[in-house]
Amino acid sequence: MRTHYCGQLNASLIDQTVTLCGWAHRRRDHGGVIFIDLRDRAGLAQVVCDPDRAEMFALAESVRNEFVLRVTGKVRHRPAGTVNANLASGEIEILCHELEILNPAVTPPFSLDDDNLSENVRLTHRVIDLRRPQMQKNLMLRYRTTMAFRRFLDANGFIDIETPMLTKSTPEGARDYLVPSRVQPGQFFALPQSPQLFKQLLMVAGFDRYYQIVKCFRDEDLRADRQPEFTQVDIETSFMDEQQIMALMEAMIRTVFEETLAVELPNPFPRMSYAEAMQRYGSDKPDLRVTLELVDVTDAVADVAFKVFSGPASSGGRVAALRIPNGASLTRSEIDGYAEFVKIYGAKGLAYIKVNDASKLNEEGLQSPIVKNLHAAALKAIVERTGAQSGDLIFFGADKTKIVNDAIGALRIKLGHEKGYLNGKAWEPLWVVDFPMFEYDEEGKRWNACHHPFTAPKAGHEDFLATDPGRCLAKAYDLALNGSEIGGGSVRIHREEVQSKVFRALGIGAEEARLKFGFLLDALKYGAPPHGGLAFGLDRIVTMMTGAESIRDVIAFPKTQRAQCLLTDAPSPVDEKQLRELHIRLRQKVETQVEVGKS
Amino acid sequence: MRTHYCGQLNASLIDQTVTLCGWAHRRRDHGGVIFIDLRDRAGLAQVVCDPDRAEMFALAESVRNEFVLRVTGKVRHRPAGTVNANLASGEIEILCHELEILNPAVTPPFSLDDDNLSENVRLTHRVIDLRRPQMQKNLMLRYRTTMAFRRFLDANGFIDIETPMLTKSTPEGARDYLVPSRVQPGQFFALPQSPQLFKQLLMVAGFDRYYQIVKCFRDEDLRADRQPEFTQVDIETSFMDEQQIMALMEAMIRTVFEETLAVELPNPFPRMSYAEAMQRYGSDKPDLRVTLELVDVTDAVADVAFKVFSGPASSGGRVAALRIPNGASLTRSEIDGYAEFVKIYGAKGLAYIKVNDASKLNEEGLQSPIVKNLHAAALKAIVERTGAQSGDLIFFGADKTKIVNDAIGALRIKLGHEKGYLNGKAWEPLWVVDFPMFEYDEEGKRWNACHHPFTAPKAGHEDFLATDPGRCLAKAYDLALNGSEIGGGSVRIHREEVQSKVFRALGIGAEEARLKFGFLLDALKYGAPPHGGLAFGLDRIVTMMTGAESIRDVIAFPKTQRAQCLLTDAPSPVDEKQLRELHIRLRQKVETQVEVGKS
């Protein structure tokens, strides 16, 4: 029906007759002439309707915003002085010869130019919201990103193999979405949290290199950057070790950024051990754009009079200092704000020292009520290790290690971005490696897998599985970008006896392992190749690429934080007949409202 | 870890040292030398282990089938007389220098060369089954097919946009898979039967050209070619009419077949109206490879004495003849077999006439007990219209039109393929167009949509919506290939008032329409462009391309006909805690076994 997209028109088409289809983005009447900005997915074009074509002009007068139009006309230069440099088609306009109203439109619920809409309004009227140029750009970029992934993977011999959506519930990890079976009464499918086991089975089956851009599901209470269904770029390969996998995967990310954003990422990506990342940044996905660093002073304050420090320092906790260059200029209320902020992470307070004179390691040079309770050696260590200069400020975290890392790590990010302690780079990728295999669950008195139970132990660490699980490191790697984890993976266990040892370390007995993972253990016995892989969070990567505030801005039809679709009103009640067919009933006394997280 | 895939090796690599990784497909000891056929996804390579490298040889002696190996050696010509022309690498072999057993394997449950395995065994040990070269080829071809679709669609401006998997239940059409909501007690998501409404909304949102290769779900009792989850190549475009859409889509199918199979399909695809297809082939997806045709004789037998014909012919039914050239040679037991066969489709019998002498329209020339009850005009019409020659046989179907079409249409296919009434072409695509909008549901005493309720009526047929729904044709089109429907679609309704008329014709009141489809009706009001699209069944297309017997042979991890995954044992019972969180319980008295179709 058209010859061109609106946004494609330019001066090279002068004097040509074109036909466009699109939406009346704006109509203006000016000097007896009607101007219609016609919009399609490629952009805007200005259509000029002269009154000398009376019938067409009468029709143009009836056009309102969002009418669907078909316009045929001649491309001409805009009059001098009316060129719009912001538009691709800003040099030209179309003198309308024929106008057809393909569909009228009622007045939309909001203007597409309104940038202050509540998310509820946007999601309720998602179809209109998706017309906004930013949303069009976001979803186009998402598409170009997925195609860049596919092209790279295809060129490297990876093949897309679909894995089941209706699969088996394995209640470790996050909560499953369940699907009642009609044919097998009382039984349920689960929607996959990831195709992890299937992709490993595909390696055992000999497909060598697998990928899939695939929906995954987690029924968890939603944070800002989570959705009940999300999309992974899921990858697995055989006969490559972790170094080769990381090298190939970072080449892919570089290619994707180059092709979609024309951004050149570093080559190679830097790598850092988990231990170092926690030590220096309090995070396993440090934002390297922020120049501030945590400095450990635990050993130096183990015996000071100040119990807030010596308590944790002498009982397995951590005391970390965060030097803020020129931070002495922070106001009292700013500092109070940060002290409030760290409480979110469980910190009980936020001690600090203003460095008035770095050469005087006493209450004269170091301004803080805590200084008198720190001995000279401690003060010396603090100033030396942080490299504090006169005019700086030093924040402290002192608590259990996890609380210190979470709180001071988060403070580092917040303060770094708010106050501009940044290295000026737009993109800072980082591989974090040498993760521990297990973390201890104090409540459950058991070891949990840090990554997942199919991750291989680091070479030489296999014996720790039985003797000292806490010391056992994993062949796992996460890719952090600007402080977000955008991907993660590992080399997997390919020998059945190692997999059984890991299950034992996790307290999963032989019988339970057979029941839940029998098909995996069998597969490992039938000739499993060495293999490993990775999954990237597509929604998050595209969110970062577009600079969107929320992953909901890069998903066409997202759910709210209460996991609802405001557009279609899902979930919704269903017929009793449907439930009967599925052999389930609602619980007798269903409260009509429950708080998220309490159910 | 490797330098080449096994199947890539050829004589151009003579004297080069290569490293291969793969599985020991077969080990033979011959003349003091060990031969290992090493297998990877690209094929086989013959590895020769000489006893002069003692350590390596000892290792090679321990190798059993399906061990995972890494082999380094030198490529050399096979000795004269041992070249294997069936293998890509059949001219060469690798003289093994180094051998590493990456993983041993227990004896597999069956030999990969065994072609007589039950499907249950194959699906239970799917990982081993997937190693079979045919399954590797099938899934590779599936991948290449999807990539060919993507490339074509990408080149034509279509963009892949993901639509939700957790969506709203709309109980018309097939049965939904339901997903209980944890956050909204008593409410349910449904897994999509297709992204139909979402893709229409994307058109209203202005994305112009959409595609998605996407999982869809139907909880129906399974036939041989159905799966609970199946994959659609789902497409929608704005501002194109049905002619343009069909032209583009058939170009896509041609391109896909050309790129993946090097097959040249006709250009253009032939088109046939639904009415003609039913008349001539008794099917809306006729297999044009079969040269037999149904011939209508209803009018000619309305008043014959033979009640089996005159009954249906005089009361709105159909009497159709199927001429079988040289069919007089069919044996009595063959004919009895066909008579049994048509009963599947509801036919009560299978009348026939043997044409002994086509010039004698009486019991002498036409051999059949029914001839004496057919008058001369009827016999003349039968012989003339079918073009029967001496030595032919004519089968008859006489019943309600649907039964005749189903039964004689199926007989046409079966007999055509069994007895070779074929035109010799490998691929016969056909567009079937001008479908009726509605079919009358005798039980429910109401009109149902033939395609779906969002299909636009044919130009000029809009008034029939209110006056005579049965006469109303649709802007719908199906693509049949060799007698299978591989795709179907339509131009959609883009005006709210037309959509409302269709809902009325379907007996869906304004209130119900608003409740179920309010978001669609709203979208149509806010400036919906003319749009239409299509969905192709990927599983079925790839099944046909590979010549597989079942779509389960082109799906990595399919379900059985009882919708179970024998590999992972899904569905399975879940914890009571999980059900409690979802506000559901099992029905008190769940029978442990119900028949499919009875629940």
B329, HSE (Cβ side, Cα atoms, 13 Å): 4
Q: Which residues of B touch A180 (CB under 8 A)?
A: 178, 180, 584
The alpha-carbon gap from B188 to the nearest alpha carbon of chain A, in Å, equals 5
Q: What is the 3-state secondary structure (H, E, C) of A287-350?
A: CCCECCCEEECCHHHCCCCCHHHHHHHCCCCEEEEEEECCHHHCCHHHHHHHHHHHHCCCCCCC
In whole angstroms, give the CA distance from residue A331 to residue A571.
49
Which among B184, B215, B585 has the least Cβ separation from residue A165? B215
Mutate: best of B38, B153, B182, B592, partner A, most A CBs <10 A:
B182
Higher pLDDT, B169 or B533: B533
List C-alpha distances in Å: A134 to A89, A122, B198, B599: 18, 13, 20, 49
Mutate: best of A153, A526, A580, partner B, most B CBs <10 A:
A526
Q: Which residues of B touch A101 (CB under 8 A)?
A: none
Q: Which residues of B touch A574 (CB under 8 A)?
A: 169, 171, 176, 178, 187-188, 190
Q: Which residue of B has its CA nearest to A207?
A: B41
b/e per residue A167-195 (b: at least 16 CB within 10 A): bbbbeeeebbbbbbbbbbbbbbbbbbbbb
User: Would the CB atoms of A587 and B583 count as touching at under 8 Å?
Assistant: yes
Query: For A121-130, A283-292, B276-285, B513-522, which range has the lowest pLDDT when averaged over its residues?
Result: B513-522
Could you tell me if the ipTM is greater than 0.90?
yes
Q: Which residues of A touch B555 (CB under 8 A)?
A: 162
Mutate: best of A38, A40, A209, A239, partner B, most B CBs <10 A:
A239
| Residue A64 annotated as binding site | no
pLDDT at res. A515? 87
The residue count of chain B comes to 599
Which among B66, B181, B523 has the least Cβ separation from residue A571? B181
The alpha-carbon gap from A176 to the nearest alpha carbon of chain B, in Å, equals 8
Query: What integer is the mean pLDDT of B550-570?
Result: 95
pLDDT at res. B222? 72
pLDDT at res. B589? 55
Q: Which residues of A touch B528 (CB under 8 A)?
A: 68, 103
Which among B169, B527, B583 has the least Cβ separation from residue A67? B527
| Residue A218 annotated as binding site | yes
The yes-or-no verdict on residue B29 having pLDDT over 70 is: yes
Report pLDDT digits (tens) over B153-174: 999 999 999 999 999 987 667 8
Query: For A195-199, B84-88, B388-392, B553-557, which range has the lowest pLDDT when averaged over its residues?
Result: B84-88
Query: What integer is the mean pLDDT of B8-19?
Result: 95
Report pLDDT digits (tens) over A172-198: 678 999 999 999 999 999 999 999 999
Domain ranges of chain A: 6-103, 116-239+531-599, 290-419
Report pLDDT digits (tens) over B468-506: 999 999 999 999 999 999 999 999 999 999 999 999 999
- What's phi and psi for A276, nearest 5 deg? -65, -40
Nearest to A242 by CA among A531, A464, A499: A531
pLDDT at res. A593? 41
Query: What integer is the mean pLDDT of B395-417?
Result: 98
CB pairs under 8 A between A and B: 385
Fold annotation for B116-239+531-599: BirA Bifunctional Protein; domain 2 (3.30.930)
User: Would the CB atoms of B183 and A238 count as touching at under 8 Å?
Assistant: no
List, in order, residues 6 or more apart from A300 with CB less than 8 Å away.
A377, A378, A381, A382, A385
Q: Do domains B6-103 and B116-239+531-599 have the same CATH topology?
A: no
Report pLDDT digits (tens) over B579-590: 999 999 998 654
Which among B66, B139, B578 has the least Cβ separation from residue A161? B139
| Residue A172 annotated as binding site | yes
| Residue A538 annotated as binding site | yes
Q: Which residues of A touch B525 (CB under 8 A)?
A: 105-106
Residue B309 CA, chain-centre distance (Å), reads 35
pLDDT in tens, chain A (599 residues): 899 999 999 999 999 999 999 999 999 999 899 999 999 999 999 999 999 999 999 999 999 999 999 999 999 999 988 888 888 888 999 999 999 999 999 999 999 989 899 999 999 999 999 999 999 999 999 999 999 999 999 999 999 999 999 999 876 678 999 999 999 999 999 999 999 999 999 999 999 999 999 999 999 987 767 899 999 999 999 999 999 999 999 999 999 999 999 999 999 999 999 999 999 999 999 999 999 999 999 999 999 999 999 999 999 999 999 999 999 999 999 999 999 999 999 999 999 999 999 999 999 999 999 999 999 999 999 999 999 999 999 999 999 999 999 999 999 999 999 999 999 999 999 999 999 999 998 888 899 999 899 999 999 999 999 999 999 999 999 999 999 999 999 999 999 999 999 999 999 999 999 988 999 999 999 999 999 999 999 999 999 999 999 999 999 999 998 999 999 999 999 999 999 999 999 986 544 444 443 33
Mutate: best of B41, B161, B183, partner A, most A CBs <10 A:
B183
pLDDT at res. A172? 66
pLDDT at res. B596? 40
Dihedral sign, Cα of residue B151, residue B152, residue B155, residue B159: negative
Are the C-beta atoms of A532 and A491 separated by less than 8 Å? Answer: yes
pLDDT at res. A224? 66
User: Would the CB atoms of B586 and A583 count as touching at under 8 Å?
Assistant: yes
In whole angstroms, give the CA distance from residue B558 to residue A552.
32
User: Would the CB atoms of A229 and B556 count as touching at under 8 Å?
Assistant: no
Q: Which residues, in sequence order, are bridge partners of residue A44?
A: A39
Which among A185, A565, A590 has the least Cβ separation from residue B164? A565
Are the C-beta atoms of A64 and B491 separated by less than 8 Å? Answer: no
pLDDT at res. B87? 83
Judged by DSSP in three states, B540 sits in helix
Mutate: best of A25, A574, A585, partner B, most B CBs <10 A:
A574
CATH of B6-103, one of 2.40.50.140, 3.30.420.40, 3.40.50.150, 2.115.10.20: 2.40.50.140
Query: What integer is the mean pLDDT of B337-365?
Result: 95
Burial of A23 (0-12, 13-18, 19+ CB in 10 A): buried
In CATH, the number for domain A290-419 is 3.30.1360.30
Which among A2, A204, A229 has the least Cβ separation from residue B164? A229
Between helices A242-261 and A538-546, what is the axis angle to 10°?
Answer: 40
Q: Which residue of B has its CA nearest to A493?
A: B103
In whole angstroms, give the CA distance from residue B202 to residue A337.
44
Report pLDDT digits (tens) over B302-312: 999 999 999 99
| Residue A227 annotated as binding site | yes
The alpha-carbon gap from B558 to the nearest alpha carbon of chain A, in Å, equals 8
User: Would the CB atoms of A578 and B169 count as touching at under 8 Å?
Assistant: yes
User: Would the CB atoms of B578 and A181 count as touching at under 8 Å?
Assistant: no
In whole angstroms, give the CA distance from residue B91 to residue B76.
9
Share of chain B above pLDDT 70, in %: 97
The yes-or-no verdict on residue B246 having pLDDT over 80 is: yes
Q: Which residues of A touch B66 (CB under 8 A)?
A: 526-527
Are the C-beta atoms of A171 and A178 separated by less than 8 Å? Answer: no
